[in-house]
Structure 1
Amino acid sequence: MDAMRKQLDVLMGANRNGDVREVNRKYYDRDVCRLFLSGLCPHELFQLTKMDMGPCPKVHSLQLRKEYEEENEKGVDNYDRELEDAIDRLIVECDRKIGRALRRLEDEDAKAAIAISVSEVTQTPEMLELSKQIKQKLKEADQHVIRGPTSCPVRALEEVEELRTTRADKQSILLLDAFNKDRASLPQPLPNPPPLAPLPVAAPDPHIQEMINEKLKKAEDLGEMGMVDEAQKALEEAEALKKLPARQEPVLDSSKYTAADVRITDQKLRVCDICGAFLSVYDSDRRLADHFGGKLHLGYMQIRDKLAELQVLWYNVSHSSIPILS
């Protein structure tokens, strides 16, 4: 609820219901989020995912962002370096996770670690054009919030979701095609596989078995004495003991049992080099589309694009300031 309330505050202002006293803030105030002013706050990207950072403790306001951008164009303030440092830390940590995943796969299957680069397969000119359109629509939504009617940003955001869905579907088809080629190169199962080795039979606990035998002997003796009710009770106790979980004997030779026996499935995993998620070459197009349209993947995709944009910007600024020697 707090996250939804904050989103509405960004879109419509904290006083949207007329019950909150608006604070006359400036974009440079300490309680205003500088990362949001620069174009991207990581707290907004991963809500309800395993990377959820919780709501940002500082104020997000599109109106203040507009004021900041106007001053930034005049050369008054620039918070881009702070944003670059923040998202660079996230990407470094993600790349470390990807590196660990690749090393883990390489230990099991060297081919898996080098088989497919998800970004190379899915970043075609058509996908890049869709990403460009999404970025433009998001900018239009922000502009509509500042100066247009409420219905305009809602429609713009709906168009963004439609474009993202289209991009995710197309990316999934591209990756599925690459996975099919990768899968074709994998060793195929034998036409008549040998029968599975029998699973180990759980051995009964000797102490429980001894108690069961005693109860059965007692029931037999009571029956011979004509004590039917007591004999029946002893039999019921013996049956209850039989239902206790059997003691599991350790498997002495695991090589006798197949992967299926110990419930280990070989999924032929590949690592997404954008967000670090594991994907299987046996995934369906729907499963892959859900991945490409998921918040985690979209979030890391957005911060990687933003970092590249900032790095190009700083490169141009630094080189334009170098005096030309005649």
Structure 2
Amino acid sequence: MVSMAAQLLDELMGRHRNTLPNENSKEPSYHDPDVCKHYTSVFCPHDLFTNTKADLGVCGKVHDDMVREKYQKDASAVTREQFEDDFIRYARQILGEVDKRIVKGKQRLQTQFPEKGSNDREGCEEKVVLLTDKINHLIEEAEKEGCEGNIEQAQGLLKLCDQLKEERDQFRKQLDGTAQNYQGVDPFAQEKQMEICTVCGAFLIIGDAQSRLDDHLQGKMHVGYTRLRSAIDEILEKRESERKEKEVVREKEREEWKKKREDRGNDEEERKKRRVEMEEERSKRDRESVSKRDRSRSRERYDRHSRGYSGGHRSSYGSSRNDYGRYDRGSYRSRSDYDRRDRRSRSRDRRRY
């Protein structure tokens, strides 16, 4: 009662009715612990089953429309996911209790109203015939065992025959009783067949009037549980669609990254080709410069030697004439020595480059 009165006062005078005029009232937020997260994100399940058998009572937290609007505008994806997870967890807890009640109701119907095929007269007659055949077969086996001297086995078979006879007598009494009480009318047709609603767990009469079925479908319990199930399905479908959209975006990003990588690979190959071409051009220029330098050096040496011979070149071994008035052979071999040295230097330059 106190919580209901406080809720009414909050609706009439506002949440900050007890604050003084000079005090600054704090604006409510959807992160506050006294704010209902279920009402803020989807809806509060406490509002679905008021004045019914499944009444959850009054919600102990605040339902504020301003906070709900603020949540719809400003809440991040992580906050929305957390609030929705809390709602799904609580809704599944409520639906789990209903599912347990549905299972118990189905078991109750199976015990009270078993299937017609297992209890009708034709089924009983078939069982009587089968039991009679088994009894006759066991009696024949007992007689054979008695003739062979197996008295204990024969007695066991006869005891089994007695049990089967008792069971057959029970089925025959059922058939006789149904014939006497209903005088040819099927007794199972006299009882109303029931079924259980797979949404809210209520018992329904098969073949009932359409107006009563409509009243059931429009009732608070059926509508509330239907709304809970549909809300969970909607949240999960929305998350699945968002996940697929994100997967499509990621696939596009992967394709773009692959294309960029291929372009980079092509650029790298072109760079390698250019680098090879540049190295080949550089080596070619180096070879040309070396050959030019060799030719210039050989010309200079040849000119220097020719100028030395024409200008009276003297040998390093002494003058051109010796003491006996003859020319020294060293002066004549100096030119061939210079030619050999020139060839050796050119061969070294070629090896070097």
**TM-score, scaled relative to structure 2:** 0.43
More helix by share: 2
Larger Rg: 2
Greater relative contact order structure (CA < 8 Å, 6+ sep): 1
**TM-score, scaled relative to structure 1:** 0.46
